[in-house]
Chain A
Amino acid sequence: MASAVNVGSLNLPKMMRHLSHRTSQVRDLTFVRNAIKQKDVKTTKSGGTLEGPPVSFGYEKSSSAKTTGSGDGGTLAADTAYHIDSPEIVIPGLTMLQSPIVSRRGALEKTGHRISGACAFHAPSLDYIKALDNFKDTKAFSELETYDKLYDMERVIINPSNVSATQQTTTFTFVDATSGYEADRVRFKIKTTGTLDYVQLSANIGGSAATLKWRDDSPVQGLALSGTTFTTIDLPVSRVEADDTASIYKDGTRTEFTASLTGGFDIDKLYGDSNNELSSLIVQLSGSALVELRDIYLYKEAEWRIQSIKDYRDEYMRVAAVRVRGERASRRRAYG
């Protein structure tokens, strides 16, 4: 964090540090912005090129990659080209003061039961946020926008002890009959001179082994980490299907991790008996190295969507957010 950033007369970051010792209303959030996908564009008709500009149908395709030059058999005009690849942004480590922490309103509606809620976050000034680790290096982040998401740890489900050792495999083994159906994501801070190979959650479903493994499948596998500063890893563990992808940002650079599943891994089925349980969390490096892991959480997430932003410049921002997703844990355990 650059010390030259003006923190305003209130000095909200300092206030939050003090408050965090007394109240859990100071939250450690993960900032998430969805990928900006290409739109479906056509430039040709049967036997020729369309007059005028390329016709954009408005709906998205599946890729966020940059498009320039030719496309759809013709040449895309500058106004429909994508200047740069815009994948999702996932940056943990954004601290805000939240009130209230849990806001949950349930309504039984025609289409089922819906959980909603609303809260306000008080955030440090934009200049301060843009000087934070990862935020300062991620050029795609310029400001908070409406419809950006903030993932909060609504409830910690499992919190293994910190580890400091020289080894390749770090395994956190859970006690017998540990349930997992409440967990949505796993987050930990890691400092190592080694390279992160994969993160694996192991379970038993119906007495058989099942695993969820997040791994960098690019040609140069693995994410080289820092031996001097902690990198925060935050990955989803619920509703994950094979070949789903997740992003890990380090120093503003995104590494894409891909999910692979064995044994039909489904965390909702881990209702917590000896045959349907979470067994372990494995953090695997590509070779033996000094590794420190801390603040390890399997947690139930609360997904907040930014609805309005009031910026008081040097002082702070007031961010109103709504929660439109949520489920009843009882139903998730029964048939989720």
Chain B
Amino acid sequence: MAKDFLNVIERAMLMGLSDKINTATADDNDVYFYGEFPEAEEVKFPAVVIQQVASGFQEKVMGETMTLGSSTGKGEMYGIAYNIHIIIERDTEVIVTGNSEPYKQRRLLNWVMLNVANEMQDLDFSDYQEEEMEITHRRLLSWRDIGFMPEFQWYGASCDYTLTFKNYRG
């Protein structure tokens, strides 16, 4: 079967982040994850958009041979770069587990930023991957453009996230 790592990783990341972050919020206080900027009719806040912005070969390996699980075959290290955007509407409220007072605005933004960063580092992809794969490196760079857009009444922040995986081709 043709390899499909880019999709497998993207889907696992979206499922994993949604699963982990929403475990830390009260029922019906959801954070929504999107693989692209959502259409106006389907967007819900707080929204986290994971946008792939680049991908390509990262590094060749000695002999061009690598292992994936119990298999050995051709391959190299492959890198993906994402931009992650958090968008929170001014009136959005989320009850974080253990708190009775809902989080809003900058407080909510701070919480989502830190928890997305944490989960991006800790996420166990094996719970969510739909095909065997191996991620060897991941790095979330600093959050930037943290602020409020008065025209939209949105709080937001963005960051760059890079990830390297074994592009095993058998």
Instruction: Point out the residue from A52, A57, A79 that lies within 8 Å of B22, measured CB to CB.
Output: A52
Instruction: State A42–B44 Cα separation when bound (angstroms).
Output: 17
Instruction: State A51–B21 Cα separation when bound (angstroms).
Output: 8
Given contacts A53-B32, A58-B35, contact A42 B19 (CB under 8 A): no
Instruction: State A55–B48 Cα separation when bound (angstroms).
Output: 12
Tell me the residues in window 14-28 of chain B with beta carbons closer than 8 Å to chain A beta carbons: 14-16, 18-23, 25
Residue on A with the closest CB to B41? A36
Q: How far is the CB of B72 from chain A (nearest CB, A)?
A: 25
Contact call A45/B15, Cβ cutoff below 8 A: yes
Contact call A52/B19, Cβ cutoff below 8 A: yes
Contact call A58/B22, Cβ cutoff below 8 A: no
Instruction: State A56–B38 Cα separation when bound (angstroms).
Output: 10
What residues of B have a CB within 8 angstroms of the CB of A79 in the complex? Answer: 42, 44
Given contacts A42-B15, A46-B128, A79-B44, contact A51 B34 (CB under 8 A): no
Instruction: State A59–B25 Cα separation when bound (angstroms).
Output: 27
Asked if B159 is at the interface (CB within 8 A of a chain A CB), the reply is no
Contact call A59/B35, Cβ cutoff below 8 A: yes
Instruction: State A306–B157 Cα separation when bound (angstroms).
Output: 34
Residue on B with the closest CB to A49? B19
Asked if A50 is at the interface (CB within 8 A of a chain B CB), the reply is yes
Given contacts A56-B34, A58-B34, A59-B35, contact A51 B11 (CB under 8 A): no
Instruction: State A56–B33 Cα separation when bound (angstroms).
Output: 8
Contact call A45/B127, Cβ cutoff below 8 A: yes
Residue on B with the closest CB to A52? B22
Instruction: State A206–B4 Cα separation when bound (angstroms).
Output: 42
Instruction: State A45–B11 Cα separation when bound (angstroms).
Output: 11
Instruction: State A56–B43 Cα separation when bound (angstroms).
Output: 11
Given contacts A52-B30, A55-B33, A79-B44, contact A45 B19 (CB under 8 A): yes
Q: How far is the CB of B160 from chain A (nearest CB, A)?
A: 20
Contact call B31/A52, Cβ cutoff below 8 A: yes
Instruction: Point out the residue from B10, B30, B126, B127 that lies within 8 Å of A53, measured CB to CB.
Output: B30
Per-residue contact bits, chain B 112-144, to A (CB 8 Å; 1 contact, 0 not): 000000000000001110000000000000000
20 inter-chain pairs at a CB distance below 8 angstroms, sorted by A residue, are A42-B11, A46-B126, A46-B128, A50-B18, A50-B19, A50-B22, A51-B18, A51-B20, A51-B22, A53-B18, A53-B22, A53-B32, A55-B14, A55-B33, A56-B38, A57-B10, A57-B14, A57-B35, A79-B42, A79-B44
| Other 16 A-B pairs with CB < 8 A, given A51-B23, A52-B19 | A45-B127, A46-B127, A47-B127, A50-B19, A51-B19, A52-B21, A52-B25, A52-B31, A53-B22, A53-B30, A53-B44, A57-B10, A57-B35, A58-B34, A58-B36, A58-B38
Which 9 residue pairs of A and B lie closest in terms of their CB atoms, listed nearest first?
A52-B22, A51-B22, A58-B36, A58-B35, A51-B23, A50-B19, A52-B30, A53-B30, A57-B35
